[in-house]
Amino acid sequence: MKNLVLIGFMGSGKSLVGRKLATQLNLAFVDTDILIEKKAQQSIRKIFEQTGEAYFRDLETQVIKEVSSKENQVIACGGGAVLRSQNVKALKKKGFLIYLKAPFPILFDRIKYTEDRPLLNVPQPERETKILLASRERIYQSVADMVVDASPPIPEEVVKRIILKLKEGENSEEKNLKRRRL
Ligand code: S3P
The pLDDT value recorded for residue 19 is: 98
Is the pLDDT at 174 greater than 90? The verdict is: no
Please, are residues 118 and 93 in contact by the beta-carbon 8 Å criterion? no
The pLDDT value recorded for residue 181 is: 54
* Count of beta carbons in the 10 Å neighbourhood of residue 64: 25
The Cα 96–Cα 103 span in angstroms is: 23
> For all residues of the chain together, what is the average pLDDT?
94
User: Does residue 79's CB lie within 6 angstroms of at least one atom of ligand 1?
Assistant: yes
The Cα 94–Cα 89 span in angstroms is: 10
pLDDT for 112-147, tens place per residue?
998 889 999 899 999 999 999 999 999 999 999 999
The Cα 9–Cα 5 span in angstroms is: 13
Give bridge partners of residue 76 from the DSSP assignment: 6, 31
Of all protein residues, the one whose alpha carbon is nearest to atom 4 of ligand 1 is 78
Question: Which atom in ligand 1 lies closest to the alpha carbon of residue 132?
Answer: 12
pLDDT for 9-63, tens place per residue?
999 999 999 999 999 999 999 999 999 999 999 999 999 999 999 999 999 999 9
| Cα distances (angstroms) measured from residue 110 to each of 17, 22, 127, 173 | 14, 22, 15, 30
User: Does residue 95's CB lie within 6 angstroms of at least one atom of ligand 1?
Assistant: no
